[in-house]
Amino acid sequence: MDLDAETPGSPEAPVVDQQGRWKHLYNVLSKPGPYTDEDWAPGSETIQSLESSKILGAGGLGCEILKNLALSGFKDIHVIDMDTIDISNLNRQFLFRQADIGKPKAEVAAAFVQKRVKGVTITPFVGKIQDKDEDYYMQFKIIICGLDSIEARRWINATLISMVDMEDPESLKPLVDGGTEGTSYHPAPLKGRSNLRTGFKGQARVILPTLSSCIECQLDMHAPRPAVPLCTIATIPRQPQHCIEWAHQIAWQEKRKDDPFDSDDMEHISWVYNAAYERAQQFHIHGVTFQMTQGVVKNIIPAIASTNAVIAASTTSEVLKIASSCNPYLDNYMMYAGEEGVYTYTFEAEKKPDCPVCGNLARKMNVDPNMTLGEFIESLGERAESQLKKPSMRTEEKTLYQRFPPQLEESTRPNLKLKLAELLEDGQEIAVSDPAYTIDFRFRLNFN
Amino acid sequence: MKQQEAENAEGAAGKKKKKVTAAQLRVQRDLQELTLGNTMKMSFPNPDDILNFTLTIEPDEGMYKNGTFNFSFAVNQNFPHDPPKVKCLQKIYHPNIDLEGNVCLNILREDWKPVLNLNAVIVGMQFLFLEPNASDPLNKDAAEDLRTTREAFKKNVRSSMIGGTVRGISYQRVLR
């Protein structure tokens, strides 16, 4: 590795007492505390089970989480991240050096920590969490995520929930999720409070798929990114940001319609900056800068190292508690606000009975492949387990039958005459909505 | 040969695992609960893709009566966290719709919440034609006309709808 020997904290200079390193961890794992479960057996067995637990970490809080996991005694860690290292990461993502710019984060971080902490194996995967399937996720004991988008969180949540097999306790994988404002996920501001996002807030939560409230249950709690009304932007801007939004959303569309905007293209950013600057002058607004332009169009919220550290520490200690049972784990949501001093609040988010993800686990249903879709729909009204009178249904790629609006009903009506075998594959999952129920249903159709 | 067969089987199994996404499921439900009335129609260029469709509004009262207005709806996989993206497909004279088709409706942007559904959006869209709003302008000229002389604005609406020119801008014919 091409590292400057002078760099403080480089893996070439480990001045670590390998025996002393685990002393405090072993203290925690070798004697019960006031909140430990009565049945818990402290000592070597617990330590061993911890060391053999396979953990998966993913996402933007990666550096902190990976370091924390390795120093908490986990020996078999997998990490997924699709990003490469950018110069702007170096101020807080402490596993990366100047020479690493452009290299995949997962690989560099894994190599660094593995070198620094003796005896730990870290397996990196460069790519998206969506590239992996259920078989892959099944091998882990716990999944810990510091993802940077709601979409990715919803995906891993839905995947882990659909993996749960009620007869196999091993199929239930606890999900520990951490996020900060900088990773575009934050609790909705209270009415009247400023919704300016400064990167000082975060949250940690523990999700036991199907047993506790899931990410989809809690979706309403989180505010979408604050937006300025389009008309303010189009007519009377009041802030430099409004001028930038105008240049980005309105001027670009008018002048460069056939040129898709790319926030990584410097020429595009410069164009938006110049247009915004001109508009700001017209309205006597000061403060439009190139940096602000970049921040607004890329929706950059400053990532603050201390917020990341607090959230990563909280999530990793939950993993330690779940894996070793040394103490009760978080039940189930901790919010953190660090703008003025430090404030945390812990509460139990409730499971939503009509949650579209954890409220409707796919049920197996045996069907005759020669039955038509119309006959199948009729049978759904008669089966005791469903009693659906007016269902609409689809697979991931096909609209099987949709009752409303009329145009869609008309184009899906011919499907009613087709046999199930012509529309579906054996074992395929369908999703069914019926106006009589507030909850939707999923069925896995197995051909007789 | 055997190996290839095995691979094919694997491919099929992988495909089978694809599940209906939360966004699709929510749209399926939202569509079923729509109230379109006589003034709205929807069309789906690809019936298997319910996330992309066109809404046609044909107001039967108000200043835009007898017009046919088409809007494209694009719902992404992050729905209902993200609002649907709505654009007017014609160049029309309306204070809250600009010449590019951008629509200024609060629940499509700053006031969107995941608890809102597609019906709330189409009701809002319909309302824009019954009560064009001069205080949230996207087409500044049209808003100004509406604010100063309502009668002149009405006239402009009529001449724009037959494909005429208002203040030097020619509009698309949208009469039924």
| pLDDT-derived band at B6, boundaries 50, 70, 90 | very low
Interface of A with B in 192-251 (CB under 8 A): 216, 219-220, 222, 224, 226-231, 234-235, 249-250
What CATH number should be reported for the domain holding residue A417? 3.10.290.20
User: According to the per-residue pLDDT averaged within each range, which of A11-20, A167-176, A223-232 is highest?
Assistant: A167-176
| pLDDT-derived band at A300, boundaries 50, 70, 90 | confident
Residue pLDDT, tens place only, A277-291: 999 999 999 999 998
For residues B66-86, average pLDDT: 94
Provide the number of structural domains found in chain A. 3
Q: Which residue has the higher pLDDT, A312 or A14?
A: A312
User: What pLDDT score was predicted for residue A59?
Assistant: 65
Q: How far A431 CA sits from the closest chain B CA (Å)? A: 6
pLDDT at A229 over 90: no
pLDDT at A196 over 70: no
CATH of region B18-170: 3.10.110.10
- Residue A156 is assigned to a structural domain of this protein: yes
| pLDDT-derived band at B102, boundaries 50, 70, 90 | very high
Q: What is the DSSP string of A212-242?
A: S--TTTTGGGBPPPP---HHHHHS---SHHH
User: Over pLDDT 90: what percentage of chain A?
Assistant: 49
pLDDT at B42 over 50: yes
Q: Give this complex's ipTM.
A: 0.85
- Asked whether A47 and A29 are in contact (CB, 8 A), the reply is yes
Instruction: Judge if A56 and A139 occupy the same domain.
Output: yes
Residue pLDDT, tens place only, A89-142: 888 899 999 999 999 999 999 999 999 998 999 999 999 998 998 999 999 999
Q: Are strands A343-347 and A333-337 parallel, antiparallel or unpaired?
A: antiparallel
pLDDT at B1 over 70: no
- Residue A8 is assigned to a structural domain of this protein: no
Instruction: Judge if A204 and A237 occupy the same domain.
Output: no
Q: How far B15 CA sits from the closest chain A CA (Å)? A: 9
Instruction: Judge if A64 and A22 occupy the same domain.
Output: yes
- Asked whether A369 and A448 are in contact (CB, 8 A), the reply is yes
Q: Which of A324, A319, A317 is nearest to A44 (CA)?
A: A324
pLDDT at A205 over 80: yes
Instruction: Judge if A375 and A441 occupy the same domain.
Output: yes
- Residue A289 is assigned to a structural domain of this protein: yes
User: Is A133 close to B17, i.e. CB distance below 8 A?
Assistant: yes
Candidates B18, B27, B29, B73, partner chain A, best to mutate (most A CBs within 10 A) = B29
> How many CB atoms sit inside 10 A of residue A256's CB?
13
> How many CB atoms sit inside 10 A of residue B1's CB?
5
Instruction: Judge if A74 and A28 occupy the same domain.
Output: yes
Instruction: Judge if A268 and A312 occupy the same domain.
Output: no
- Residue A10 is assigned to a structural domain of this protein: no
pTM: 0.78
User: What pLDDT score was predicted for residue A223?
Assistant: 65
Instruction: Judge if A290 and A396 occupy the same domain.
Output: no
Q: How far B110 CA sits from the closest chain A CA (Å)? A: 5
Least CB–CB distance from A399: residue in B41, B50, B104: B50
Domain of residue A262, residue span: 230-297
| pLDDT-derived band at A298, boundaries 50, 70, 90 | confident
Instruction: Judge if A52 and A90 occupy the same domain.
Output: yes
Candidates B18, B25, B50, B121, partner chain A, best to mutate (most A CBs within 10 A) = B25
- Residue A354 is assigned to a structural domain of this protein: no
**B164, amino acid identity:** G
Whether omega for the bond prior to residue A405 falls within 30 degrees of 0, making it cis, is yes
User: Is A429 close to B20, i.e. CB distance below 8 A?
Assistant: yes
CB contacts of B34 in chain A (<8 Å) are 404-405
CB proximity list for A281: less than 8 A, separation 6 or greater: none
User: Which DSSP letter does residue A170 get?
Assistant: G
User: Is A394 close to B44, i.e. CB distance below 8 A?
Assistant: no
Instruction: Judge if A99 and A44 occupy the same domain.
Output: yes
Instruction: Judge if A335 and A414 occupy the same domain.
Output: no
User: What pLDDT score was predicted for residue A182?
Assistant: 55
Residue pLDDT, tens place only, A381-411: 887 666 788 899 999 999 999 999 999 999 9
Q: Which of A331, A321, A307 is nearest to A205 (CA)?
A: A331
Residue pLDDT, tens place only, B155-173: 999 999 999 999 999 999 9
pLDDT at B7 over 60: no
Instruction: Judge if A122 and A243 occupy the same domain.
Output: no
Q: Which residue has the higher pLDDT, A253 or B157?
A: B157
Residue pLDDT, tens place only, A30-84: 888 888 888 888 888 888 888 878 888 776 688 899 999 999 999 999 999 988 9
